[in-house]
Amino acid sequence: MRLDMALAAKSPTKPDFKVPSLCEASPEYAALIARREGLFAQKATTEKEIAGLIKALRTVPPAERHSKAVAELVGDHISQSEPPRPSRERLNELQQHLNAIDKATRVVDVLISLSATSPTLPTNYTLFRRIGSMKTNGSAQWTLFVQSGDEFLWAVAVQDLSTSGSALYGPTLSVPTGVSVWALHSILINNAITTDSAIVYAQVAENDPGAINAFQRAVTQQVTAISVNGGWLQTRTDTSATIRIRVGLAATTVIVGTRGWIDRRGRDN
């Protein structure tokens, strides 16, 4: 019996292509990431020590809440054999160290949130400031606007109210909610039977006068059945984006259009 043996050569398999991570591609970046993680670990340790020190200081008599060096300076007796005691000086050192770590690890990024005042922040982010507000349309697309400093103008003005039948209205304008802004809007009135006037006020800061005062009029229709536009006004909204409008007669038609808003974006907080 003859046994034939053959040795088959297997072609080497090409390794799968792998896109390197930033840390793999750049040792310098990897070192920065490692340094940042080390600072985060120091921060956690420091915060834990601060919490323990504050708790310990609450149980120490006021006269003993200083370091040995300060106690010796003021003439207090210090036993050299006793262990280091909690001190305000140590607490101050730790808080300064924590502040230094916060400055070194502070990273700025952009977050989009449905909340204007309490956004959910990513891990390790503790500070935030709102820099503006945006709105989507029915197709989840951003509605076009133009910004110049604190002024935001819609590319296309929006009609937010066209109605009659009441003497007091609280229209919701096309401006940000969750914060109070200065709405840039127009008001037009028309009464086919008699003349009328309208006043506009901010519910968030002003009381309803209950009547049309001459000095508060935003627009006055002096000729029957003629539409009168009061021009572009600036009225402060509440956090629901509403303002208040009062007319003299319920039969008067009121039309309000919004062209934009002025938003201080937390600068005054």
- Which structural domain range is residue 254 located in? 145-262
Same domain, 151 and 88: no
Residue 7 lies in a domain: no
245-265 pLDDT, tens per residue? Answer: 999 999 999 999 999 999 999
What domain count does the chain have?
2
Other residues' Cβ atoms within 10 Å of the Cβ of residue 261: 26
Structure tokens at 66: 């200083």
In a domain, 247, yes or no: yes
According to the model, what pLDDT value does residue 29 have? Answer: 76
Higher per-residue pLDDT: 180 or 93: 180
pTM: 0.62
- 28 burial via Cβ count (<10 Å: 0-12, 13-18, 19+): exposed
Residue ending a domain, choose from 73, 105, 137: 105
Going from the C-alpha of 24 to that of each of 18, 30, 31, 187, 229, the distances in angstroms are: 11, 7, 11, 61, 65
Indicate whether 142 pLDDT > 60. yes
Cα–chain center distance at 58: 36
Please give the pLDDT value at position 67: 55
